[in-house]
Structure formats: structure tokens, C-alpha cells
Amino acid sequence: MRIVGVLGGSFNPIHNAHLQIAECAHMQYNIPEILIIPTAKTYYKNNSELINANYRIDMINLAINEINAADHLKVSCIDIDRGGITYTYDTINDLKDEYDKIFFIIGTDSLMYIDKWMNAGIFLRECTLLVGPRGSHSKEEIDKQCDLLQNDYGAVIKFLDTELSPISSSEIRKMIRNKKSVKTMLPDSVLQYIIKNRLYI
């Protein structure tokens, strides 16, 4: 049986919280391969700050190599190669013929509105959600949303045993523009790449 984990996002840039949740999924659920899939364009975010895909792919590869995780973390360009707006159901549909079991990795912030995503019912039936802590939602709010997703969509939801991280790509970009240190937020190789290519300034 081919099993895969999927961590999607803009990765603009990739940072330590992304790597933390991917590594947790790999170890906690014994997932042999985690695909890190950068979006082409996102329909629910402002894409004006989204840098060229080649930069983002380079940074993902640098991050993976820095933490010596290339045996189980892989960058996938399926969304970028497809082009246009990235929808999760397209991504899962592209993967379901290749893999027997798909784990889709998200934070609790995304869990709270995942039922509003395009064709949510389609991909929720095709994958298991792995949810890591992110945002400020209460346990009661999360439990209520899980009940809705399970009852309305038959969603299978599991939780990742990892610490809440406040790091976000948008905050990193803002700090770089304001000439503040982001050294503790992302791998050093990624930071040096950002400096070398004068990104986010």
C-alpha cells in the first residue's frame, strides 16, 4: 500500500513551523513520504506578495536538506505545473490514483473553515485529515467543527501531538521588510537564500 502525507501552502517562505508539523506527521503516523506542495495561486489569499514559484521551490529544498529529511520529505510541483488557482480537491484528485491512502495535513485554523473550500465534500472523502495546533480556537469550537465534518462529510480526523507555533509566513515577510531578525523562525539556509536574492524587501 502506497501511503502519502500532503502539506500544501504558499510556502512564502517555508519556515520552522511547516517543518515541525511535517516531521510530526511522519513520525506520529509512520507516514513514509510527505509531499510539500507549493500552490500556484490561492483563491482565498491576496497573491500580490506571492513570489516566483522557483524561489519557493528552492527554499523548500534547502529546508529539507538542512534538516536531513530528504528521505521522507519531498517537494512536489503538481499544483504549480497545473497552473491557475490552486484548489485542494484538484490536488487530491491528482494524487488518489497514485496513492492508496492520503493524509492531508492542516492546522486548526484551516480546519475551522475547510467545509467552505471548493468541493470540500470531494476531497474529504478521499483523505484523512491530520490536524496540528494553530490559531486561538477553543477545544469546544474545534470539537464542534469536527462533529460537523464527520456528520456532514464522513471526514476522518486525527490530531498531531505537537506544540502550537506562532510562526507565520506573513509575519516573517513583514519582519524582513521592517529589517527585524527572523533568524529563529526559519532554517539558516533559507534565510541566507532570502538575503542573497533580496526577497521580501
Residue 27, domain CATH:
3.40.50.620
Measuring CA to CA, which residue among 141, 152, 151, 87 is closest to residue 111? 141
Q: How confident is residue 131, by pLDDT bands cut at 50, 70 and 90?
A: very high
SS3 call for 7: strand
For the stretch 72-82, pLDDT in tens is 999 999 999 99
In sequence order, the β-bridge partners of residue 3 are 101
Q: Are strands 128-132 and 34-38 parallel, antiparallel or unpaired?
A: unpaired
Q: Does 33 fall in a domain? A: yes
pLDDT computed for residue 136 by the predictor: 81
Across 186-199, b (16+ Cβ under 10 Å) vs e yields bbebbbebbeeeeb
Measuring CA to CA, which residue among 78, 112, 80 is closest to residue 95? 78
State CA 154 to chain mean position distance: 22
Total domains in the chain come to 1
Q: Does 175 fall in a domain? A: yes
Residue numbers of the domain that contains 98: 3-196
Residue 4 C-alpha cell reads as 502519502
pLDDT computed for residue 164 by the predictor: 81
pLDDT computed for residue 134 by the predictor: 85
| Contact (Cβ atoms closer than 8 angstroms) between residue 153 and residue 125 | yes
Measuring CA to CA, which residue among 130, 118, 124 is closest to residue 22? 130
Whole-prediction pTM: 0.94
Q: Does 201 fall in a domain? A: no
For the stretch 161-182, pLDDT in tens is 998 888 999 999 999 999 999 9
For the stretch 56-113, pLDDT in tens is 999 999 999 999 999 999 999 999 999 988 899 999 999 999 999 999 999 999 999 9
**What values do phi and psi take at 121, rounded to 5?**
-60, -30
102 HSE (CA, 13 A, CB side): 23
Q: Does 115 fall in a domain? A: yes
